A and B are shown apart, each in its own frame.
Chain A
């Protein structure tokens, strides 16, 4: 089996005249948390539905877990778990009954089912409240329970559609930590859609940015940040205003401009370059360097830049 758990080729879905997913070609490696970022209406949820075989593509193909989403959707669903924007819990039932139902659906034996329910609820600190009806719980607790339900049958691949949406910052942070711990513990591949960029930056090994159904960029958060960074180096210290130093710096091909302001030296770079030789040059010139800042764009800045560029 190949190393990609999800592979799409020109995947497209139209709803009448609206193109929700537009020739999406994507490869998601096994065993990572993949963040699928995009604003509301970008096509994230439709992509999940296409990958699960709940919707048929208008054009293109998707292979998930090695199965074609058009012809073997039931096999995809058998080996994956999904948590959509709404928790999908039966609120009249207790937390335990909700998991019991899905444990039966996934055909876990009685002993295994009970042990697994206990394991997950204990891990998520919900075991003591398992007999309570879900409707009496907070949204944060419900989302945790929904995560437990999604992981109950130890799927190889989990789709999480904006799992922290609507949670307060504390509950969202707690759920994020639980998700990261569970994903590491279970060794599961996670396909996470979100428009919370801090969440993606913290959790994801690889992210894809989608807008109006089109994939704009894919890479690790670091790669995306580096590729879109402001390419500026700031050096703080003493003896930075010497003409000889400034002339040496300006002579280097990787440097676009140098500006000295009091005890600061601002170096504009030509693209993404190795900055260690520049710092060495400054130190060897006799300047006393106190701090060096390499300006890096946050994932949010990268995201906003991409949105502006494509808009």
Chain B
């Protein structure tokens, strides 16, 4: 099973690299430029000290996974490679996990790379002789939140891509889902009565950040597992072919 997953991952990585070798290589470069240079220079020391970097890591991984996951099954279907793949000896799970793991590895890898690169301009501009690093707990938080964010995007994205007729359709559905995920909490908080809002801000300010991060990772992980279980249940060769 693991060998088969690695085989699918090998192919996916080859395809991503081939895709990124064209004009599309600009997108990851822009990403690294923003999260590895521009934002850290703007924020200075607070880049490594503020809990905002934890939020960035989760969102960055999620967006990066979003940029490739729509292609996972819809792309195979659109390019007429899906039926041949399904007619091979690979199990359903090997195909599914191979695609999910590669997307997660890409999202987390690029996020961690950007956050590592970010330490260079921050230290050069604001180090003042000392070495500025992310606190250990923040590092764990970054790893956990980026993994959970990438997992959320990958499992939701695969679920959408499984059912979409084209990559464009999958991308559109995924974009709308992500926007809802982003804007519903923001506007939800805005819509709260001012008393509630004040209490929420107060609670968040007083809260132990570590605890909040652990709860957030736990909630995301539960969501990831739930979506993955649905994706596994919906992975039916006959349905994929007839779609």
Contacts and interface: CB of A to CB of B under 8 A. Distances in A.
The answer to whether A and B come from one shared complex is yes
Interface of A: 15, 49, 52-56, 74, 77-78, 82-84, 86-93, 97, 101-102, 104-107, 133, 149
B172 interface: no
Contacts of A104: 7, 10
Q: Which 3 A-B pairs have the closest CB atoms?
A: A88-B84, A86-B80, A92-B18
Given A86-B80, A88-B81, A107-B3, A52 B87 contact: yes
Contacts of B241: 49, 54-55
B14 A77 contact: no
A88 B11 contact: no
A77 B87 contact: yes
B238 A105 contact: no
A56 B85 contact: no
* B interface secondary structure, majority: helix
Contacts of B242: 15, 55
B15 A90 contact: yes
B89 A88 contact: no
B19 interface: yes
Contacts of B79: 90-91
Nearest to B7: A104
Interface string B83-100: 111111111000000000
Interface string B185-212: 0000000000000000000000000000
Given A54-B238, A55-B241, A84 B87 contact: yes
A101 B4 CA distance: 11
Contacts of A55: 238, 241-242
B61 to A, nearest CB: 24
| Count class of interface residues, chain B | 20 to 34
Contacts of A101: 7, 10-11, 14
B234 interface: no
Given A84-B84, A89-B81, A106 B238 contact: no
A54 B86 contact: yes
B237 interface: yes
A77 B85 CA distance: 11
A71 B81 CA distance: 25
21 contacts: A54-B237, A55-B238, A55-B241, A55-B242, A56-B238, A74-B89, A77-B88, A77-B89, A82-B87, A84-B84, A87-B80, A88-B80, A88-B83, A89-B81, A90-B14, A91-B79, A93-B11, A93-B18, A105-B89, A105-B90, A106-B89
A9 B19 CA distance: 46
A133 to B, nearest CB: 7
Contacts of A93: 11, 14-15, 18
B153 to A, nearest CB: 23
A121 to B, nearest CB: 18
Contacts of A84: 80, 83-84, 87
Interface in B13-51: 14-15, 18-19
